[in-house]
Amino acid sequence: MNMKTMFLKLAATALIAGVFAVGLSPRVSGQQNQPSGTQKTLTGVISDSMCASTHMLKYMSPAECTRMCAQQGQKHALVVGKKVYVLDGHEEELNKLAGQRVVVKGSVSGTTVSVASVTPVKGPSPAK
């Protein structure tokens, strides 16, 4: 076996081993051990991830706009002051409470909340 052939085989083996190792990496495969998030209770208004606090469809109420956006594939969101959290889980309940002020309990990781429970806030509704 000449030097060039041996070098090419070694380089190919190293390349395959590298690709295999990267393929098994938790970061690439999406199976990394992420912290479960911090348990929090948040109070805000249910909207959707596209409109947040500024609904684009002015001829609809915020609740109607949120429901339509969710039906079109947008995630529900919780608007807390100027901060917007994407809500994961309890979609049916969130849809019923669209546009309303609610208390959401769940696990917060970044700007995503894994919803454990959602309850409406008693009192005046948010301004339309």
Domain boundaries, the chain: 1-32, 38-120
Question: What is the pLDDT at residue 124?
Answer: 61
Residue 76 confidence (pLDDT): 95
- Mean pLDDT (whole number) for 78-106: 95
CATH topology for 38-120?
Answer: OB fold (Dihydrolipoamide Acetyltransferase, E2P) (2.40.50)
**Closest by alpha carbon to 65, among 82, 78, 52, 83?**
52
pLDDT at residue number 56: 81
Average pLDDT over residues 68-87: 94
Confidence of residue 121 (pLDDT cuts 50, 70, 90): very high
